[in-house]
Amino acid sequence: MSDHFTVSQVLSWNPGSLTEQAAEWDRQANELRTRMDTQNRAVDGSHDTFKGAAGDAMRVRFGQVYQKSRKVLEALENGRDAAKIASMNFTAAKGLVSAQKRTAEAKGLTVGDDGTCSIKEETKHGLYLSVGGDETKYNTAMAALQLDCNNETSFMKKVLDHAATTDANAVTEIGKAFADLPAADTFGNATTPKTEIIPPPKNGTPQQNRDWWNTLTPQQQREEISTHPADIGNLDGLPASARDQANRNEIPVERARLQDQLTLDMALANAGQDQARRNVDDVQGRLKDLDTIDDQLRKHPDAKLMALDMKNGRQGRAALAFGDPDTADHVAVTTPGLGTNVHGSLADMAKEGEALKQNAEHQLSRAGKTDTVAAIAWIGYECATRRWQFRMGVRDLPSVPRRSGELKLEAA
């Protein structure tokens, strides 16, 4: 079975993608359940308002569709659970291969991509020197080392077999979850072929992005927000309300991805990998960032989450808007100083942003003006920390009229 997967293939696995898929199926299941319950209550309450044969036929037909929808809902829930379990199993299998590879390499062995181990030439040379060039001792030591090498090969093949089994089980369980879905035409609805959505322009300007967004129907816009929240939430030029909803949708997906990453990093850290120990601290910090963002959205339900990025840069990044940046006459942006992060600074910055908006509107009102104000609390850039970086920034200013940092907030 190990012929089907190589060491490099297993180590390139991204279990977090399965966690993201599980979160998407969970979102779809919740949305379907809510709509089914709403329709069910409406139909159940129609006995007094829609009577006669037509009303009875409608209720019978709805009952048939409702039962088929229940099967779709069950499939989504089963698929979600299967993907979550598969993600954990992939994480464990990847960790086993990584740990076994390090064990073999620590013994002076080279691990081939198929799992076969061999003794390094420098290991042989070191062994020869350690026995003072005594041929008998060297041959005895080499025989013992070769036996150990063969054992490590056996162990590597076993963990690769385990990885292949993990993959096969995931395919089986996820396939099983959706095996009994009713065919679309059995619902009896007249359907229009779905129009393929053209993706947004690559590296588009805010205006180009807004033009693309405006070509979509409201239903297509909702679909993009639901299915590609990470892309929509950080796409400059889109309406603040769309970015806000997309970024809110992305929070549970990111949390699940980071929790899976934390599980893997902790396993590798316990096995003695220094980089994994550093990764644990980083991932834990980003999870704290998400908790802080969630907390601020609960405390400020009218705020708009204009940006969310937990994957790039040295730290998590976010931007919270008070007021509507799309329609406000005046937009202010508050940014923190060097060394700040989302979980340590967003709460205070949110207070500052909200206070700035209120004070500005108060001053405008006193001046007899009705101008509106939006304030954005933004932790979304990485400060220059070296003198040459400052010099580069100054040098670039004449040729770049305006920069808004790595994580942009522009709206067309």
pLDDT at position 380: 65
Q: Are strands 317-322 and 373-379 parallel, antiparallel or unpaired?
A: antiparallel
Q: What 3-state class would DSSP assign to 318?
A: strand
- Whole-number pLDDT of residue 271: 64
Q: What is the pLDDT of residue 346?
A: 86
159 contacts 93 by C-beta, under 8 angstroms: yes
Sheet-wide strand order for 304-309 = 304-309, 317-322, 373-379, 330-334
Taking only the tens of pLDDT, the chain with its 412 residues reads 445 799 999 999 999 889 889 988 998 898 899 888 988 888 888 888 888 888 888 888 888 888 989 999 999 999 999 999 999 999 999 999 999 999 999 999 999 999 999 999 999 999 899 988 899 999 999 999 999 999 999 999 999 999 999 999 999 999 999 998 887 777 766 555 667 788 899 888 999 999 999 999 998 999 899 888 888 998 999 999 999 999 999 998 888 888 888 887 787 777 667 777 788 888 899 999 999 999 999 999 899 999 999 888 778 889 999 999 988 999 988 887 766 788 878 888 888 888 888 899 889 899 999 899 999 988 865 555 444 444 434 343 343 333 333 445 554 4
Q: Residue 226: how many CA atoms within 13 Å on its side-chain side?
A: 15
Strand boundaries in 51-143, DSSP class E: 109-111, 117-119
CA dihedral 62, 67, 71, 74 (to 10 degrees): 100
d(CA 236, CA 245): 14
User: What is each CA distance from 250 to 147, 157, 308, in whole angstroms?
Assistant: 51, 38, 8
Cross-strand pairs, 322: 375
Looking at residue 123, its amino acid is T
Supply 52's token pair.
């006669």
Q: What is the pLDDT of residue 392?
A: 39
Quick check: 338 and 362 in contact, CB under 8 A? no
Res 390: pLDDT: 40
Picking from 198, 236, 242, the residue whose alpha carbon sits closest to that of residue 218 is 242
For the chain, which domains are there? 7-187 (1.20.1260.20), 228-379 (no CATH)
Cβ-proximal residues to 261 (8 Å cutoff; 6+ apart), any chain: 16, 279, 283
pLDDT of residue 399: 39
